[in-house]
Homo-oligomer: A and B are copies of this chain.
Amino acid sequence: VVDATGISPEEWTLWRAFLRSHARVSREIDLQLQRDAGLAQGEYATISAILESPRRRLRIGEIAEALGWEKSRVSHLIGRMEQRSLVAREACADDARAVEIVVTPEGRRKQLAAVRAHAAEVRRVFLDHVSPDEREVMTRVLRRVIDELGSTGQR
């Protein structure tokens, strides 16, 4: 059964559930991070991405790629985070155009303060509702979605 758009009701249901679940879950995570560490979700994600990178430093474009965001968004965010002394910009040795972002002790401290409660919250609002089998299916599908879109649309 499909309508004039070629999409079945069951498919629309999935699409809506995807959008709505993200909005609701993202909201809960934001509240928890703000409460426990005074960090926005994007700030936490940025710090974590940098700390988990091999050299503990990432360029603007690499952060954008990791998070699926636009470069200008990351650039503004880093600016605000730098004002708050959560990260610092450092010149890149290889390429004078590039900038490497590192996490300051203050940024690391805040991330540490949040990580336990954050993990618990991610579990509570999302992971607790996914069985191991379901997890495998979902990871496979979402990775496929990400990979098909590639790295286009940067700004």
Interface residues of A (CB under 8 A from B): 4-7, 10-11, 13-15, 17-28, 31, 45, 66-70, 115-116, 118-120, 122-123, 125-130, 134-135, 137-146, 148-149, 153
Contact = CB atoms under 8 A, between A and B. Distances in A.
B126 A145 contact: yes
Contacts of A146: 17, 20-21, 24
Contacts of A149: 24-25, 28, 125
A36 B130 CA distance: 37
Given A17-B146, A20-B66, 13 more contacts: A5-B118, A5-B120, A7-B119, A14-B135, A14-B142, A17-B138, A20-B142, A24-B146, A27-B68, A27-B70, A125-B148, A129-B144, A129-B148
A38 to B, nearest CB: 19
8 contacts: A5-B116, A11-B127, A14-B130, A19-B67, A22-B22, A23-B69, A27-B68, A28-B149
Contacts of A118: 5
Contacts of A135: 10-11, 14
Nearest to A7: B119
A23 B67 contact: yes
